[in-house]
């Protein structure tokens, strides 16, 4: 055991001191924090004021275009040639030209601008014109705007989970989908990334012949386990640093870039949903509540009702279990070959279950209680990813317990198989290894 701890220490310290580890530890939080920061920065930059002139020869759309997101629409009374000339002189951003139509209804509009207008401007103009034309058509049929508004109906679907004892909790299907897929993808990413590091480390030691010196002092199994556990600790260290640094970067950004009293649409929706949630026990939900507010309400309640200790503990268990299961196989592949090129024939069968899990993730999210989801969450080679997708959907405890037990059994089995291959292959050089040869190593007794 003391020898294994020394190997773990060596693997851990040698890897955390590498420049690649330090660079990835810094870049990882920056990339993750950018997911929160970039949309805010884009929103601030996108608020530059742009003036668009409207030359409407039909007269249908006077005052119909609404100013929004820094875009100001103003009527243009000059000629089309004068409008184009004003654009080239930089007097305004663009000119919307709505020509007279030979038929009763306007049929097109042209946007003149020096630069390609963004899609939001084009969609806004198109939507405004379509709504006005539709309103005019309906008015001709005797249907007023008040009648149209009165005929609209908003249907809000809220999900509730019934716990033991009949306790009800509000949940969010969208939140469960996002949480499950994110957890599954992180496990998939780390298993592949650090499993490959185990394999490369074994190949490097084997080709440099340093393994011959190491193996004279420790048993092959002790060396393999020390390498696997050491790299696992590197993974956990980097993951925890990513979480802490990401939260730190986002926190600093919020301090440096305050709200300035101007909430975004998302913030307003969440704020309104929060107020509605606070009064939920006092009043019934009005049928006129906007669906966006209800979605925000469900999302906030779903966040409150997540069992974070359970989710985190399950993530750690399935991550460690999945990593240990695959790391042993990656180590065995590294021991069986002399260079990375020769690993290709063995990588596909080992990595196929991981790839299948990610490919099947969409179908599992759509039906987390179906037979496909059940079996893939039970089989050890796919359970680390699929079970993390299913967990936010309240998987029965007996299925979780069975999945965990089989994952532990699978890890022990793959470790035993990997140790057999590792013991023989680690000192074998200059020979192309086939599947039949590996099968002989596994069956070898002694």
In the chain, where the domains are located: 48-151, 174-443
223-246: average pLDDT: 84
**According to the model, what pLDDT value does residue 446 have?**
59
Report the alpha-carbon distance of residue 135 to residue 140 in Å, rounded.
Answer: 9
- Which comes out higher in pLDDT, residue 52 or 2? 52
138-147, 209-218, 287-296, 428-437: least confidently modelled range: 287-296
Question: Domain 48-151 has what CATH class?
Answer: alpha beta
- Which comes out higher in pLDDT, residue 205 or 268? 205
**According to the model, what pLDDT value does residue 405 have?**
95
**According to the model, what pLDDT value does residue 274 have?**
46
- Virtual torsion, Cα 86, 92, 94, 96, nearest 10 deg: -80
Taken as a whole, the chain contains a residue count of: 446
| Phi, psi of 80, rounded to the nearest 5 degrees | -65, -40
CB 443 within 8 A of CB 414: no
**According to the model, what pLDDT value does residue 335 have?**
83
**According to the model, what pLDDT value does residue 169 have?**
64
39-48, 69-78, 82-91, 117-126: least confidently modelled range: 39-48
Dihedral sign (CA 137, 140, 145, 148)? negative
Report the alpha-carbon distance of residue 126 to residue 414 in Å, rounded.
Answer: 60
pLDDT grade for 273, boundaries at 50, 70 and 90 = very low
**According to the model, what pLDDT value does residue 163 have?**
65
Residues linked to residue 159 through DSSP beta bridges, in sequence order = 171
28-42, 71-85, 172-186, 397-411: least confidently modelled range: 28-42
The answer to whether residue 345 scores a pLDDT higher than 60 is: yes
The answer to whether residue 206 scores a pLDDT higher than 90 is: no
């Amino acid at each position: 055991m003391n020898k294994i701890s020394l190997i773990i220490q060596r693997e851990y310290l040698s890897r955390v001191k590498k420049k690649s580890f330090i660079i990835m530890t810094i870049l990882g939080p920056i990339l993750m924090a950018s997911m929160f920061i970039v949309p805010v920065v884009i929103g601030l930059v996108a608020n530059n004021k742009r003036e668009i002139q409207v030359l409407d020869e039909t007269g249908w759309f006077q005052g119909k275009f609404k100013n929004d997101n820094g875009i100001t629409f103003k009527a243009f009374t000059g000629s089309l040639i004068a409008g184009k000339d004003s654009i080239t002189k930089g007097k305004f951003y663009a000119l919307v030209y709505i020509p007279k139509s030979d038929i009763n209804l306007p049929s097109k509009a042209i946007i003149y601008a020096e630069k390609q207008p963004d899609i939001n401007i084009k969609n806004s103009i198109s939507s405004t014109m379509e709504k006005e034309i539709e309103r005019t058509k309906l008015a001709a049929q005797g249907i007023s705007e008040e009648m149209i508004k009165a005929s609209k109906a908003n249907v809000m679907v809220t999900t509730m989970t019934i716990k033991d004892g009949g306790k009800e909790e509000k949940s969010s299907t969208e939140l469960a989908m996002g949480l499950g897929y994110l957890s599954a993808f992180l496990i998939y990413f780390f298993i592949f990334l650090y499993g490959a590091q185990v394999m490369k480390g074994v190949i490097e030691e084997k080709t440099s012949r340093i393994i011959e010196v190491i193996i004279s002092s420790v048993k092959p199994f002790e060396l393999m386990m020390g390498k696997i556990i050491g790299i696992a600790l590197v993974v956990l260290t980097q993951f925890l640093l990513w979480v802490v640094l990401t939260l730190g970067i986002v926190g600093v950004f919020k301090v440096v870039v305050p709200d300035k009293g101007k909430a975004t649409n998302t913030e307003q929706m969440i704020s309104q949903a929060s107020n509605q949630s606070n009064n939920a026990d006092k009043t019934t939900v009005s049928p006129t509540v906007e669906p966006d507010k209800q979605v925000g309400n469900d999302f906030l309640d779903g966040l409150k009702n997540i069992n974070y200790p359970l989710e985190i503990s399950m993530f750690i268990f399935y991550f460690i279990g999945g990593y240990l299961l695959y790391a042993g196989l990656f180590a065995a592949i590294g021991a069986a070959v002399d260079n990375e090129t020769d690993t290709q024939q063995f990588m596909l069968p080992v990595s196929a279950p991981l790839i299948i899990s990610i490919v099947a993730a969409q179908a599992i999210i759509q039906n987390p209680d179906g037979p496909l989801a059940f079996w893939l969450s039970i089989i050890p080679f796919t359970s680390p990813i699929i079970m993390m997708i299913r967990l936010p959907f309240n998987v029965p405890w007996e299925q979780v317990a069975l999945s965990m037990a089989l994952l532990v059994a699978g890890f022990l089995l793959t470790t035993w198989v990997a140790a057999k291959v590792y013991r023989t292959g680690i000192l074998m050089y200059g020979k192309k290894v086939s599947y039949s040869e590996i099968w002989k190593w596994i069956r070898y007794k002694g």
